[in-house]
Structure 1
Amino acid sequence: MKVIDISRELFSTPVYPGDPEPRRELVRRMELGDSYNLSGFYTGCHSATHVDAPRHFIDDGKTVDELDLSRFMGRCTVVSAHGIVTGADIDRIMPYCEKILLFKGGGEAYLSTSAAFALAAAGVTLVGTDAWSIGAPHEEAGPHVELLGADIPILEGLCLSHVKEGTYTLVAFPLYLKGAEASPLRAVLLAEDGEAD
């Protein structure tokens, strides 16, 4: 079995405009005479590869710690999509896809509100994109509200450029952040021998 990392590095990934910049502080350093190394870090909840929980756009929606972890592990389909995916696109591809769907498009794979509605109607349990946001810059709120309102978490900032279209097993657990509307995570795809060749 092959493990394919689809996460972006926390400190070097550009942040969404207006979000906090991640940083790490070296507290103890052996090279300066300390007997051990120790560091602390600060980051926004939406930095690098992360999950949006319903609370991000739904006032009484679930927070990260309230999400069932089983939602973040399972068979998934990686689909190429460049630009804005429509509801008609979803209706066309869903018969061939798993209930976890990841869109790769060089950082420009976005959902329209109609696509988000179609995904929710199809019973999708988790949606992801390699873009900063699941919604295009001129329509960010609509897809978020549609998916999160249907209790479907959203993975954003995935790194899928080295991944072929197809079916994999996704493992992408968020941090245990009580009350948070989002969380960074480490996302990997598991591929059976031959699946990722």
Structure 2
Amino acid sequence: MMDLDALAALFRSPQVRLVDLTHPLAPDMPVWPTHPRFTQELIESYDRGDVACNHALCMSEHSGTHFDAPLHFVRDGAAIDQIEPLRFFGRMATIDCSKVAPRHAIGIETILDFETRHGAIRPGDAVFFHFGWDAHWTEPAPHVAFLADWPGLSEAAAGWLVERQVRIAGSDCLSLDAFGSTEFPAHRRLLGAGVLIGENFARLGELPPFAFLVTLPLPIRGGSGAPLRAIAVVGAPTS
């Protein structure tokens, strides 16, 4: 039987640090050009004499920090509510790609170099690529820097991750395919193999090479993806 007290103590321990990898949902945040903007309308208000506060929301399944489910690019692929919950928890590798040039699609060699320096990526891992693109997230509309020229993942690198049987691949960019791609090879290769794609993640640059990822996407029935809250569990820095 799980020791719940020990688990609770672990999360309260000074040896554990939680890093929030989620951008807040807000009306002024960047969105994919063909997707609806996030809107938040006040429906009930204390100032109007209502007993409670309540907002109506309008957004895309791919608003803010989110997962793409296979259905996003695969006809009859799994929807986000059909993904087993265990997929949302597990070890996470974060590969530093902050020196990669804009529009560049990284290859397998970037992943192999990470493994040489930090250890092997295992089946069941989540693999994230820190391009540093989240630094542009809070720039004012029209979000020119965030919505253009981002780097991404090549089809070969996506295929390598599929062969390694990772469960999630993601980045801090608007798309895991590099800007300008019209064929979306990384999306098609990963989602076609049932690998979830994470996009618009924040603060990947604060993570060590390996951490424990906890993600909780909305279980949208038949959804091609869903916004989520993502937390990385890491050990406290050592002096």
Give me the whole-angstrom Cα distance separating, in 1, the residues matched to 2:204 and 2:158.
23
**Pair 1:184-2:223 in alignment:** no
Q: How far is 1:161 from its partner?
A: 5.3
Report the counterpart of residue 134 of structure 1 in structure 2. Answer: 176
Report the counterpart of residue 131 of structure 2 in structure 1. Answer: 105
Report the counterpart of residue 194 of structure 1 in structure 2. Answer: 237
Give me the whole-angstrom Cα distance separating, in 2, the residues matched to 1:43 and 1:153.
20
Give me the whole-angstrom Cα distance separating, in 2, the residues matched to 1:112 and 1:51.
19
Q: Deviations over 1:31-67 (max 9, x none)?
A: 2222221111111011110000000000011000111
Q: How far is 1:109 from its partner?
A: 4.4
| Structure 1 gap segments, 5+ residues each | none
Q: What TM-score, normalized by structure 1, do the two folds share?
A: 0.92
For residue 96 of structure 1, give the secondary structure of its aligned residue in structure 2: coil
Report the counterpart of residue 13 of structure 1 in structure 2. Answer: 29
**Pair 1:167-2:188 in alignment:** no
Give me the whole-angstrom Cα distance separating, in 2, the residues matched to 1:189 and 1:89.
22
Q: How does 1:13-162 map to 2 (within 5 A)?
A: 13-81=29-97, 82=100, 83-94=104-115, 95-98=119-122, 99-107=125-133, 108-139=150-181, 141-160=184-203, 162=205
For residue 115 of structure 1, give the secondary structure of its aligned residue in structure 2: helix
Report the counterpart of residue 139 of structure 2 in structure 1. Answer: none
Give me the whole-angstrom Cα distance separating, in 2, the residues matched to 1:178 and 1:131.
26
% same residue: 29
Q: What TM-score, normalized by structure 2, do the two folds share?
A: 0.77
Q: How far is 1:18 from its partner?
A: 1.6
The alignment covers a number of residue pairs equal to: 196
Q: Relative to structure 1, is the Cα distance of residues 80 and 90 closer, same or farther in structure 2, using a 3 angstrom cutoff? A: same
Deviates further, 57-66 or 185-194? 185-194
Give me the whole-angstrom Cα distance separating, in 1, the residues matched to 2:226 and 2:207.
26
Q: How far is 1:19 from its partner?
A: 1.0
Report if aligned partners of 1:80, 1:165 keep a CA contact under 8 Å in 2: no
Give me the whole-angstrom Cα distance separating, in 1, the residues matched to 2:92 and 2:22.
16
- The structure with more strand, counted as a fraction of residues: 1
Give me the whole-angstrom Cα distance separating, in 1, the residues matched to 2:236 and 2:91.
15
| Structure 2 gap segments, 5+ residues each | 1-15, 134-149
Report if aligned partners of 1:90, 1:118 keep a CA contact under 8 Å in 2: no
Pick the structure with greater CA Rg: 2
Q: Relative to structure 1, is the Cα distance of residues 53 and 97 closer, same or farther in structure 2, using a 3 angstrom cutoff? A: same
For residue 152 of structure 2, give the secondary structure of its aligned residue in structure 1: strand
Q: Relative to structure 1, is the Cα distance of residues 162 and 117 closer, same or farther in structure 2, using a 3 angstrom cutoff? A: closer
